[in-house]
Structure 1
């Protein structure tokens, strides 16, 4: 089943970043038969894994900023409760009052101050951030959407989808922070295969599509 992909610049950037991760997997697969002595082919797979997680982390941030800007500019009574009650510093309020900046810009600037350096690789943090732009339960809605795309042959829940995502980001953290070394070993790294990383990349893509679908349904 072909799943429509959002055409926003934010999602197109995500797609481009994911394509880069897939190219790393291709490079590893092409080199594997030659077994080059000076290159650990598995490192291409590890790099692809880190790149894919970075891609969705970046997309969550950009999606947050874009949707906050859109909603704040509309000044609609139907905007999410978190955004409706959002507080910004007095100096930004004064800048709006003076006409130095539009209200929507002031809100987005403060959201960026709050979230720019935050890692959006934990389901709880992602939910907290996206409450600015939707009152929906993101993970519950995404799980339901993925189940639908699978023809309900497998039923995903909020809990199982979060577990899937955490498993992917945990492996990314082991690669990025612990060189993917086996616990207690300073030389031997965890095994990784082309199938492992391709599955992780596909899941990341699927989760982003499902979350985008939930967000779009709120418009």
Structure 2
């Protein structure tokens, strides 16, 4: 049975960005039998890996801003403590009092200034930022959700799921920052295969979908 996907523009954008990564994998697979001399086919896989991580990083940001806006507009007593206690500069408070902007707009603008350029590729940073919109243990909830989808055949925990995610983002950093070169070598790159990157993309999709379900509960 297909798992329902969130019907939001933020998650649709994530799905589109991930589909672009899959197309890069397809291009590499189609070219592999021909081994064109001027192209390193493995670079298609490396580009797909980086694109997939960028897709979930972007989704975390956009999902954060959307939910902060919704929660701030409601001003509900059920608002997460981190958001209720969020400090806003006085000049922005004054702008709300004058009626120049809404409270929700001010809060979102300030959150964007704080987190807009932050890298959300580390489990701790992701947990920290999502505390603004939920008081749940997001990684524990996502692990439990994945186990449920697998019919109990898996036993992921927040710790093992974080490790899985970190293994993907760590490889992304080696590709993006070190040209995926083997440590101490200026020419030899780490091996990468189509199954490697397909598995990484599938995991990114699975983790984002599980987190979206936990946030929506």
> Is the pair's TM-score, using the shorter chain for normalization, greater than 0.5?
yes
Query: For 1:33, what is the secondary structure of its paired residue?
Result: coil
Gapped runs of 5+ residues in structure 1?
A: none
Give CA deviations for 1:171-211 in whole Å, capped at 9, x if unaligned. Answer: 00000000000000000000000000000000000000000
- How many residue pairs are counted as aligned between the two chains? 217
Aligned-residue offset at 1:121: 0.1
For residues 94 and 58 of structure 1, the distance between their equivalents in structure 2, rounded to whole angstroms, comes to 31
State the match for 1:47 in structure 2. Answer: 47
Gapped runs of 5+ residues in structure 2?
A: none
Aligned-residue offset at 1:2: 1.2
State the match for 2:13 in structure 1. Answer: 13
TM-score by length of 2: 0.99
Aligned-residue offset at 1:154: 1.1
State the match for 2:94 in structure 1. Answer: 94
Kindly report the root-mean-square deviation, in angstroms, between the aligned alpha carbons of the 2 structures: 0.4
State the match for 1:184 in structure 2. Answer: 184
Within 5 Å, which residues of 2 pair with 1:106-125? 106-125=106-125
State the match for 1:78 in structure 2. Answer: 78
Query: For 1:124, what is the secondary structure of its paired residue?
Result: helix
TM-score by length of 1: 0.99
State the match for 2:64 in structure 1. Answer: 64
State the match for 2:163 in structure 1. Answer: 163
Aligned-residue offset at 1:162: 0.1
1:197 aligned to 2:200?
no
Query: For 1:120, what is the secondary structure of its paired residue?
Result: coil
